[in-house]
Amino acid sequence: MTDEQIPESWRAALTGVLDTPASRQLGQWLRQEEAAGKQIFPPRSQWWRALELTPPDAVKVVILGQDPYHGAGQAHGLSFSVPDGVKVPPSLANIYKELGSDCGIPRPAHGNLEGWARQGVLLLNTSLSVEAGQAGSHARRGWEAITGAAMAAVAASSLPTVFILWGNHAQAAAARIPALGSTGRHLVLKSAHPSPLSAHRGFLGSKPFSRANQFLEAHGRTPIDWRA
């Protein structure tokens, strides 16, 4: 895949994987899907939004999702986030519930997490696109290699970083990044997914937000203002 919208700050990390036959095949397949009239979320202009808002040298926390929301108007390129004016989805509602319990922060009136992204929270999905109404429809088409390369670049960095992995999918994706477990300089927080089906199995009460900030402060990095 080649895409002029890939942020310049990430090109060095992604060039190798973008030039592979698999990535070129992904780009061709996506163009064919669009030509066939398939509705794809988010719009192409927002596929790289998470990378655009959070350059590699600014990443303090990685929150890894699976694929974009597949309902109209929900996805805008950031995992778990929705644009202003869109109803807060159930998983994000549970994230806000845990945020309140963990940090005493009142539930925000919106679901837009761009404020987190601008502070260094990389809100990355493993797939950056999805067909309308078809959850997981763009999985295993090639996105995983690209987003995995982005994660690997963060894991290889000398900057201590927090990786928040909610659910089996995120944990499996992170397990494919050897440097993440071998360097010892990063904090990896694992729990159940915040979806209504699993939040009570270990997500609620896991205190990821305060634990992330404690780690960042202990390593000389500015903590995240989770109210943003």
Active site residue 67: yes
Cα dihedral across residues 110, 115, 120, 126: positive or negative: positive
Cα dihedral across residues 98, 101, 104, 110: positive or negative: positive
List 165's β-bridge partners, or say none.
64, 190
Using a CB cutoff of 8 Å and minimum separation of 24, what contacts does 221-228 make? 221/60, 221/159, 221/160, 222/60, 222/119, 224/60, 224/61, 224/116, 224/119, 224/120, 224/121, 225/115, 225/119, 226/99, 226/103, 226/105, 226/116, 227/105, 227/108, 228/115, 228/116, 228/118, 228/119
Catalytic choice (19, 67, 84, 225): 67
Compute CA distances 59 → 32, 49, 63, 162, 207, whole Å. Answer: 34, 14, 11, 9, 20
Residues with active-site annotation: 67
